[in-house]
Amino acid sequence: MAEIKLYSAVVCPYAHRTRLVLQEKGIDFDLIEIDLQNRPEGFTKVSPYGKVPAITHNDERVWESAIINEYLDEVFPNPPLLPSDPIARAQARIWIDFANTRFVSAFSDLLRSSDVQKQEEAKQQLYKHLEFIENEGLGKLSGEGPYWFGESISLVDLTYFPWFERWAALKEYRGFSLPAEFTRLKQWKHALKERESVKAIANSKEFYIQRYAKYVAPTPVGV
């Protein structure tokens, strides 16, 4: 029996983050799939918020993906997924926070809103976030390397990628493709897709289009 138990849901991008970290580090773990529409009795004893991901490590429990991932990086330090330099590590945490508080919100607002005006506002907001990532993130930090911090993959890369694997749902339901002008972002996405850790748990575009259909609020008829 593995030391780590991961409570996950295949459609959940937050759980996807933690699965990627476990794959990158080669950590043995037991995967427990949770039906988020029908959570098992007692699940809140593991995840008090009733959300995935959550892990148990021996007799301890940790929840919230960003916190889980830093915990795993500290307890299983090789290979490291945060920069060793304090300012670079601070920058990594800033970008993780940007994902959690801004980027993900705009992505979700666009996908889930049934109001055409709100969809348009979300598109504009998401475009601005992508532009900020292109110029302030990858443009200034990655140098000649394919990843956020250059040649070495980090928690920042793994924090964002699950939403980019799901981008087909935005294109299908909201007509929002990844803008062609963001060339560094496209190169970054391609580099991530080619990693063995990503390939090992990747799902197809069709999978996400089908799975997200029930989460997408329909656009009102006649609008």
Question: Looking at the predicted structure, is the pLDDT value of residue 15 above 80?
Answer: yes
Question: Looking at the predicted structure, is the pLDDT value of residue 221 above 90?
Answer: no
Of the pLDDT bands very low, low, confident and very high (cuts 50, 70, 90), residue 218 is: low
pLDDT tens-digit map of 152-203: 999 999 999 999 999 999 999 999 999 999 999 999 999 999 999 999 999 9
For this structure, is 12 an active site residue? yes
Mean of pLDDT over the chain = 94
Buried b (16+ CB within 10 A) or exposed e, 143-156: eeebbbbeeebbbb
**pLDDT above 90 coverage of the chain, percent:** 91
Question: Looking at the predicted structure, is the pLDDT value of residue 16 above 50?
Answer: yes
pLDDT tens-digit map of 21-58: 999 999 999 999 999 889 999 999 999 999 999 999 99
Polymer length in residues for the chain: 223
Q: Which residue is catalytic, options 6, 12, 20, 133?
A: 12
Of the pLDDT bands very low, low, confident and very high (cuts 50, 70, 90), residue 216 is: confident
Residue whose C-alpha is closest to residue 160's, from 4, 16, 61, 11: 16
Of the pLDDT bands very low, low, confident and very high (cuts 50, 70, 90), residue 215 is: confident
Of the pLDDT bands very low, low, confident and very high (cuts 50, 70, 90), residue 217 is: low
Average pLDDT over residues 120-135: 97
Average pLDDT over residues 85-108: 97
